[in-house]
Amino acid sequence: MLRRHARAACTALAAAGLVLAGLQAGSATAAQPSPGTAPPVRSAAETLGAAEAQPELLAAMGRDLGLTRAQAERRLVNEAEAGTAAARLRDRLGASFAGAWVAGAESGSLTVATTRTDALAAIRATGATARLVRHELAALERAKASLDRSAGAETPVRYVDVRANVLVVEETRAGAAARLTEATGVPRELVRAVRAAEAPRPLYDIRGGDAYYMGGGGRCSVGFAVTRGTTQGFATAGHCGRVGTSTSGYNQVAQGTFQGSTFPGTDMAWVAANTNWTSTPYVKGAGGANTQVTGSVLQPVGSSVCRSGSTTGWHCGTIQQHNTSVTYPEGTISGVTRTTVCAEPGDSGGSYISGSQAQGVTSGGSGNCSSGGTTFFQPLNPLLQTYGLTLRTTGTDPGPGPGEPEPGGTWAAGKVYAAGATVTYGGATYRCLQGHQAQTGWEPPNVPALWQRV
C-alpha cells in the first residue's frame, strides 16, 4: 500500500471586415521601413495574435456561439482592435467615461458611453457609436465597492452593467438588495435588484493524479474521474478509505464521500463528489499538463504505462504481468497488474495510463522513485463494473443523427466487456477482443481493434 499519512499540503487583418474603420487608425501596420527608420507599428490584432487562433478555440466558438470559422476569426480580430480603441477613449475621456462594449456576431460594432455631451463627437470620430448616459463608470464602481464590503449570502453577486448604466445586485431573497443598499448608504437610483435562482458556488475539477485527503487522516491520489448517473466522482484504491469516509480535495476543500470500497480481496473504491466538483477526462501528466483519457482498453504485457500520483508525480515503466496476487499485512488481493513503475506513499489510488487508455489505480509496491521499484495496480474495468461507474472520456461520438435508426442488439454503451464476451449489434454477433468499457462511437462494427464479427 502507498497511502500517505496526513501532512501539510506541500486571417489577415485586411479581411477582418471591421465596420469600425477608425478603430485601426494609429494601430495598423505601416509600410516596410527603409533602412535606419523605426520598425513598423503592429496593429492590436497582430500584437495579441488574434489572427493566429488555434483550431480548437475556433471550433469551440463555432459550437457555442453559432459562428462559422471565418466569423470566429473576424470576431477575434475585431475584439482585439475594439479593446484597444476603447482603452484609448477611456484614457481620453477621463472621469466622464461610462463603459464600452462590442456587439454583433462578429463583434463588428463598438459602443462607448460618456456622461458629457461634448465628448460624443470625439467618440464618433473613432468610428464607434457614442451613448450619453447619467452615471460615470467610476461612480458605479465606487458604489459597488461599498456594497462588496457588506454583502452576504443573500446578495451573492454584484456587477456594473455598462450597457444599462446601472449597478446590478443579484438577491436570493426578496428585498435583500434594498436592505444592503440602505445599510451602505448607496443611492438607490444606482442599483437594480435581480432575483437569482441560486447562489453561485466554487467549482473544482476532478483530475487523475491529484491529491485528496481522508477525513480520518491520510492522503491518497485520484485514480480516474467517473460518473454514476448524474453523480460526479472518482475511482481510487480501496485501502485509502471505507464506505462513509469523507474526503477533501487537493485544495483542502470538502469534496465527497466513499460510496464503495473493497480491501483486501481486491483494492478498489469510488468517491461520490459534492456539487462543487466536476469530473474531467484528464490525468495530471508531465509538468502538470493534462493528459486526456479516451477509453479503458487494457494493454498487453510489455506495454508502456505511466503513473500519476500526488507524491512523486509522473513516472513511466512497463507492464510485467496481469492477474497477479499480492499479500499485504492486511491480507491478499488478487487480479492486480505488476509493473516496473516506481511509486511512494501518497501515490495510492493514482492513475495508470497507457497512451490515452486508462489502465488502473495504484495499489502498492516496493522500492521508491530514487532507486526504482515495483508497483501493482488494480485494473480499472473490474472496478467500473463492480460499482456501475462510467469512465469520463474525451472525444465521444454523438451517435446516430436525426432519422437514423438505432441498430439494436445486446451491445450497450457504458457496459464493461471482458475479452471473449459476445454481443449482438445490428443483426450480427461480435466477440470482444480486448477488455474495455464500451462508449458511444465504439460500436462493434466501428472498432475492429476491439470487436470481431463471428
Active-site hit among 135, 239, 315, 436: 239
Which of 43, 96, 221, 348 is an active site residue? 348
Closest among 147, 111, 107 to 127, alpha carbons compared = 111
The DSSP annotation for 207-234 comes to EET-EEEETTS-EEE--EEEEETTEEEE
Residue 338 CB contacts under 8 Å (≥ 6 apart), including other chains: 319, 320, 321, 324, 374, 375, 376
Cα–Cα distances (Å) from 245 to 72, 139, 250, 271, 378, in that order, read: 47, 50, 16, 9, 20
In sequence order, the β-bridge partners of residue 315 are 307
Q: How far apart are CA 31 and CA 407, in angstroms?
A: 62
Contact 122, 92 (CB under 8 A): yes
Sheet holding 166-171, edge to edge: 157-161, 166-171, 191-195
Sign of CA dihedral 316, 318, 323, 329: negative
Count of CB atoms situated within 10 Å of the CB of 363:
28
Strand order in the sheet with 97-103: 97-103, 109-114, 129-132
Out of 135, 261, 267, 351, pick the active-site residue: 267
Q: Is 267 a catalytic residue?
A: yes
Residues 6+ apart with CB under 8 A from 445: 425, 426, 428, 430, 451, 453
Active site residue 348: yes
CB 223 within 8 A of CB 381: no
Concerning whether 315 is annotated as a catalytic residue, the answer is no
Question: Which cell goes with 405?
Answer: 435508426
SS3 label, residue 352: strand
Angle at 341 between CA 328 and CA 283, to 5 degrees: 105
Amino acid (1-letter code) at residue 160: V
The position carrying cell 477525513 is 215
d(CA 56, CA 76): 14
The residues that are catalytic are 239, 267, 348
